Amino acid sequence: MDAICELAKKYNIAVVEDACQSTGGKFGDKDLGTIGDAGAYSYNYFKVLSAGEGGALVTENRKIYERALIYHDSSAVAFFGTQLDGIKEPLFGGTEFRISDITGAILREQLKKLPLIIEDLHKNKFAVIEKLNDKLTVAPSHDAQGDCATTLAFRFETEEETRSFAANCKEKGLEVTIPADTGKHVYTNWTQIMEKRGALHPAMDPFRMKENQGLQMDYTMDMCPKTLDYLARTAYIWVSPDWTEENRNDIAEIINNAV
Ligand SMILES: Cc1ncc(COP(=O)(O)O)c(C=O)c1O
C-alpha cells in the first residue's frame, strides 16, 4: 500500500481500497480500508461480519463523502432525512443503494462482536499452524499480526502438488479452495474488463470515451503471469471463530496427512 499510495500521489490519482474481505484487519497501525482515499467493506455471507448483504464506504475526504452519499441515495435521503443538510457538492443522478433498517440493526450488533471475532479467528488459525509439520509452507503475509485470519493458506512448489493436497483434504471432508478456481476473483474471468465494456451505452463507457483513447488498454490473458502462478500454487481453508480444540486437532491432522 505504501508503494501504491506514493505512486497515486505522484500522478494525483485517488486510491480506493477494496477491504471487503478484511473488516477488522490492520496493516501496521492502520485499519485496512483507511489507508487510501476511501475504503469499501462488504457484509455479505462470506465476509468477516455479515448482515445478510450490504456494505459501507469510509473516507476522511469530505468531497468523496458527499459524492458517495449522493450517489448511493440520490433521492430519498434528501426527502426523508437531514443527511443532505450542509452538503456542498451539486446533486447528480445516482442510484438507490440505501441500506435497510434491519440490515443496519444487524450490523450494529455485529460490529460490537468484531474484536472478539478477530481474536477467535487468530487464536484458531495460529493454533492449527502450531500443529503443522514442516512439509507445509504457510503463504506469506505482509502483516501476520494484522491479518483477519479468516483463511489459512498454504503455498506449494507446483500446481500439481497444490491440487493433490486439495484433493487429499477433500477426501477426508476438509474443503480446500485454490484461488485460481474462484471465477471472477481472477482477472482472466473479468469479461467486462477483458472485452472492454465498461457500460452498455458507448457514451457512458470509459473504454470508448474520446478523452480516454490513447491510454494503455492492451489487456491480455497472460499479462500478470506471477499472479496466475501464485493463485495456482496456493490452497486455503476457511477458519471459523467457533472451532474447538477437537476441531483444531482434526483439521491439523487432515492437513498434515494431505501433503
Ligand atoms: C475482495 C472483494 N471485493 C468486493 C466483493 C464484493 O462484495 P459484495 O458482494 O458485497 O458487493 C467481494 C465479494 O466476494 C470481495 O471478495
**Does 20 sit in the ligand 1 pocket, CB within 6 Å?**
yes
CA distance 195 to 190: 8
3-state SS record for 5-47: HHHHHHCCCCCEEECCCCCCCEECCEECCCCCCEEEEECCCCC
**Does 21 sit in the ligand 1 pocket, CB within 6 Å?**
yes
CA distance 17 to 20: 9
Pocket test for ligand 1, best of 16, 17, 18, 20 (most atoms within 8 A of CB): 20
Kindly write down the DSSP assignment for every residue of 225-250, as one continuous string.
Answer: HHHHHHHHSEEEEE--TT--HHHHHH
Across the chain, mean pLDDT equals 94
Residue 54 CA: nearest ligand 1 atom is 10
The pLDDT tens digits for 196-224 are 999 999 999 999 999 999 999 999 999 99
Q: How confident is the model at residue 79 (pLDDT cuts 50, 70, 90)?
A: low
In the prediction, which pLDDT does 91 show? 87
Cα(22) to centroid of ligand 1, in Å?
10
DSSP 146: T
